[in-house]
A and B are shown apart, each in its own frame.
Chain A
Amino acid sequence: MSAEPLNAGPLVEVRDLVVDFPVGDGHVRAVDGVGFTLEAGQALGIVGESGSGKSTVAYGLLGLHRGTGARIGGSVRVAGVDAVTAEGDELRRLRGGLAAMVFQDPLSALDPYYAVGDQIAEVVRVHRDVSRKEARARAVEVLDRVGIADAARRSRSRPHEFSGGMRQRVLIAMALACEPRLLVADEPTTALDVTVQAQILDLLHELRAETGAGLVLVTHDLGVVAGSVDRVLVMKDGRAVEHGPVTEVLGTPREPYTRALLSAVPRVDAPEAPGATAVSAGGDVLLEATDLRREFATRGLARRTAPVTAVDGVSLTVRAGETLGIVGESGSGKTTLGRMLVRLLEPTGGRLHYRGRDIGALGEKELRPLRRELQMVFQDPVSSLNPRRTIGESVADPLRIAGETDERRIRTRVGDLLERVGLDADWYHRYPHEFSGGQRQRVGIARALAPEPRLIVCDEPVSALDVTTQAQVVELLGELQRDLGLALVFIAHDLAVVRQVSDRVAVMRAGRIVEQGDADTVYDSPQHAYTKGLLAAVPVLDPAEATARRHARLASATA
């Protein structure tokens, strides 16, 4: 890439960028006058909540809005190329050659039909005049660079044969393939577990130091930018709210919005509102699991393989009025456990006592009367509500199932429930798509509350929500628990959120609980090495602290 004149200008220069998307007859403004510059070798974090326009800005750097019907205003120059007007070969050189994108969701961002090495080689051949064989060699080289063990062999594997973290590495390798001067990473760690997230962020940091490339890191997670960028741009509703060095924006934010955003971030290092939930803890034992197990048989008559053990001997108790947090990384069996606790799944081993009665092996008929006492709130507020029915009908379902037939009483009760979760009682006739993610999750909670349960299992109830919404929903759950004396089982991968809501915490790994106890004890003095590792990987908001932790990780990795 030495042919590119290293002119005096900055690597990226965005001025008054405006992006309008066509909607029906009109347009909606996604980005409204954003401007920034980025020098070579520097890193900029663009943070904001969903819909703030942060990804739209990132796509604009590669001219990816071209041909989509979007209207672009202002100017975008990347490494001397005008991304708004460049055509043909120049545009293609910009994409991948000068600036490369690391996409979110590494499963869908790769072609499922081809080996990853071939996909990277294809990109190499777009930008370099090399033979097929040389391109393949380059692919293996970059795969090796991003830490794929046995890269030559693994380059022949297809995307589905990699784990989430490894796929993200493959995407980074693809971005590196043509030695671009700028890396644009769009939520590169959002789908990953904390420990893997830390590895990927460390890798990006290392590569930047090594290649001298610039980095634009787009994320909703303020903790992610803290240790990874030099400057931060905070976006809200398409506008740049605050822009400055990372230490200043995160340390001494000037804008109220930035401050609100920061205060909504749950902290893993200090309990939020101590005593608020602890008061109600210590009631009677409601649910007791003893050596609970669940195996899933793998399908197929002839090729019978060993069954997969999702939950491998878990014992826990849930007391009336307390919150038990269950944390663990993906695949640790926490969802399977949660579903067994409300008997959506039948355990294959162990005992499950609810109020002294063994419900582990009860048939559907005997479970029926107990169902209303054990409810569940699901992760995805979009798919857990029927899009063709009004939210009022969805909330009324449990009432009708319980045998309520008086339409007036149902209406009144649903109205009360909607108000209870902070929605308007008059919204009975609205459909799920008319609501935001947070509101939909409130509907899900109202539905769970409808049959007056004693226990609600919340499976990742806030992981699909923005931090400010997340804080509101968490607050609502705490409030409901205090008012109604509910027992909650709160399942999440986010350690900070779990600490915020839980009286007691259980840490899961590979189907087992490795550590459980009082929340403060587990977080402040973890006993198990796995818990310690998890806590060390949680991104912190203090840039200096984040850098110190990175050094500690690297030191322990090389030691």
Chain B
Amino acid sequence: MTRFLLRKAVGMLGVLLVLSLVVYAVFYIAPGDPAQLACGEKCSPAQVAQVRERLGLDAPVYLQYAHFLQGLVAGRDFSAGTGLLHCQAPCLGISYRSGEQVTDMIAARLPVTASLALGAMVVWLILGVGTGLLSALRRGRLSERLLTALTLAGNSVPVFVIGLVLLIVFCAQLQWLPFPTYVPLTEDPQQWFWGLLLPWISLALIESAKYARLTRSSMLETLADDHIRTFRAYGVSERHLVTRHALRGALTPVIALTAMDLGALFGSAVLTESLFGLPGLGKLLVSSVSLIDLPTVVGLTLVTGFFVVLANVIADVLYAVSDRRVVLT
């Protein structure tokens, strides 16, 4: 197990390194001069040159990248007009745009996206897996058809439509819920919950149809397994068959899919974040890309990449815990 985790950690470092290299490369191929952009349109060529030097953009690309890596491990200093600005490890650089430290910018927004993604995951697992199980066990009945239709509808309507409808109905018309805002969990758990409920539901509705289908087919497959027949032939009740024998096998693929979706959501929940005005990572990523704010984009890519890999390692471990035949090597 320890060996497995160590190997995964090394692999993760490799993946992140390649990711950062790719982002660097893409930005140097892309048009647009970051120094000009950082300085503004009215800057004189002299001013632009000054900015370029200050941001270290005059150095060759490979040196810039080396500095970036150095900052990540040991921290680095930037000249900020009059004095020196120290950026502590792990330093992801300084935003060309705002002059803020990227690490701080991400750290401020990470809890928002994490709250959104994890909460949505809980909702879509309840909704999706529940629907899937129900439709596997009560095939063809009314309750099953209704739930399946609901999740399918959720899947086929864009999040900004669902979100808007939910906002209008529950916040504006019925006034059952407050308009979504982000209140940190540490500040007030209740407000955190109510403020995020609608975003969670909107995001989960998109995902749950996928989970319902997966759970349904994998449950039906497991229920047809020989070992289920064995216990049925020994008088074990149907409810027991499902909860004790079928569920465990049926949920294994769900674990894998959840891990992938959750990791990816850290960088891609931008529509939900924008719609509900939540200051998360996705929003930051979109604005940084359009502003060619290289340090922020690289930083965000690394952080989301980190979560994708991490989620998959967790899924591997869960796999091995749930199925003892799996040996982690």
Contact B249 A300 (CB under 8 A): no
Contact of A110 among B227, B236, B237, B248 (CB under 8 A): B227
Q: Is A123 an interface residue (CB 8 A)?
A: yes
What residues of A have a CB within 8 angstroms of the CB of B244 in the complex? 122
Q: Is A92 an interface residue (CB 8 A)?
A: yes
Binary contact readout B206-246 vs A (1 if CB under 8 angstroms, 0 otherwise): 00000000000000000001110111111111000000110
A81 to chain B, nearest CB (A): 12
Contact B3 A302 (CB under 8 A): yes
Contact B249 A112 (CB under 8 A): yes
Contact of A123 among B226, B236, B249 (CB under 8 A): B236
Contact A108 B234 (CB under 8 A): no
Q: Is B323 an interface residue (CB 8 A)?
A: yes
Contact A109 B322 (CB under 8 A): no
Q: Is B325 an interface residue (CB 8 A)?
A: yes
Determine the distance from Cα of A246 to Cα of B46 in the docked complex, in whole angstroms: 107
What residues of B have a CB within 8 angstroms of the CB of A302 in the complex? 3, 7, 329
Q: What is the interface of chain A mostly: helix, strand, loop, or mixed?
A: loop
Binary contact readout A544-557 vs B (1 if CB under 8 angstroms, 0 otherwise): 00000000000000
A218 to chain B, nearest CB (A): 14
Determine the distance from Cα of A290 to Cα of B324 in the docked complex, in whole angstroms: 41
What residues of A have a CB within 8 angstroms of the CB of B249 in the complex? 112-113
Binary contact readout A105-142 vs B (1 if CB under 8 angstroms, 0 otherwise): 10011111100000100110011000000000000000
Contact A112 B236 (CB under 8 A): no
Determine the distance from Cα of A300 to Cα of B3 in the docked complex, in whole angstroms: 11
Contact A103 B325 (CB under 8 A): no
What residues of A have a CB within 8 angstroms of the CB of B324 in the complex? 113, 158
Contact of A95 with B233 at beta-carbon distance under 8 Å, contacts A103-B226, A113-B248 already known: yes
Q: Is A511 an interface residue (CB 8 A)?
A: no
What residues of B have a CB within 8 angstroms of the CB of A92 in the complex? 235, 237
What residues of B have a CB within 8 angstroms of the CB of A174 in the complex? 230, 234
Q: How large is the interface on B (under 10, 10 to 19, 20 to 34, 35 or more residues)?
A: 20 to 34
Determine the distance from Cα of A302 to Cα of B5 in the docked complex, in whole angstroms: 13
Determine the distance from Cα of A199 to Cα of B287 in the docked complex, in whole angstroms: 73
A215 to chain B, nearest CB (A): 16
What residues of B have a CB within 8 angstroms of the CB of A100 in the complex? 233-234
What residues of B have a CB within 8 angstroms of the CB of A105 in the complex? 226
Contact A300 B235 (CB under 8 A): no
Q: Of all chain A residues, which has the CB nearest B322?
A: A113
Q: Point out which of B3, B231, B244, B248 has the most chain A C-beta atoms below 10 A from its C-beta.
A: B231
Contact A303 B235 (CB under 8 A): no
Contact A300 B226 (CB under 8 A): no
What residues of A have a CB within 8 angstroms of the CB of B230 in the complex? 101, 103, 109-111, 171, 174
Q: What is the interface of chain B mostly: helix, strand, loop, or mixed?
A: helix
Contact of A95 with B234 at beta-carbon distance under 8 Å, contacts A299-B329, A302-B7 already known: yes
Contact of A112 with B323 at beta-carbon distance under 8 Å, contacts A103-B229, A105-B226, A303-B3 already known: yes
Contact B226 A109 (CB under 8 A): yes
Q: Of all chain A residues, which has the CB nearest B246?
A: A111
Contact B231 A123 (CB under 8 A): yes
Q: Point out which of B233, B248, B323 has the most chain A C-beta atoms below 10 A from its C-beta.
A: B233
What residues of B have a CB within 8 angstroms of the CB of A93 in the complex? 235
What residues of B have a CB within 8 angstroms of the CB of A103 in the complex? 226, 229-230, 233
Determine the distance from Cα of A108 to Cα of B227 in the docked complex, in whole angstroms: 6
B3 to chain A, nearest CB (A): 6
Binary contact readout A80-102 vs B (1 if CB under 8 angstroms, 0 otherwise): 00000000000111111100110
Binary contact readout B140-176 vs A (1 if CB under 8 angstroms, 0 otherwise): 0000000000000000000000000000000000000
Contact of A101 with B233 at beta-carbon distance under 8 Å, contacts A112-B325, A303-B3 already known: yes
Q: Of all chain B residues, which has the CB nearest A171?
A: B230
Residues in B274-329 with C-beta less than 8 Å from chain A: 322-325, 329
What residues of B have a CB within 8 angstroms of the CB of A300 in the complex? 329
Contact B227 A64 (CB under 8 A): no
Contact A111 B227 (CB under 8 A): yes
What residues of A have a CB within 8 angstroms of the CB of B7 in the complex? 301-302
B165 to chain A, nearest CB (A): 42
Residues in A275-325 with C-beta less than 8 Å from chain B: 299-303
17 contacts between A and B (CB under 8 A): A62-B233, A64-B233, A92-B237, A95-B233, A95-B234, A101-B233, A103-B230, A105-B226, A111-B231, A111-B245, A113-B248, A127-B235, A158-B324, A171-B230, A300-B329, A301-B329, A302-B7
A residues with a Cβ closer than 8 A to B are 62, 64, 91-97, 100-101, 103, 105, 108-113, 119, 122-123, 126-127, 158, 160, 171, 174, 299-303
B residues with a Cβ closer than 8 A to A are 3, 7, 225-227, 229-237, 244-245, 248-249, 322-325, 329
Contacts A101-B233, A109-B226, A113-B322 known; 7 new A-B pairs at CB < 8 A: A64-B232, A95-B234, A108-B226, A111-B231, A122-B236, A123-B236, A126-B234
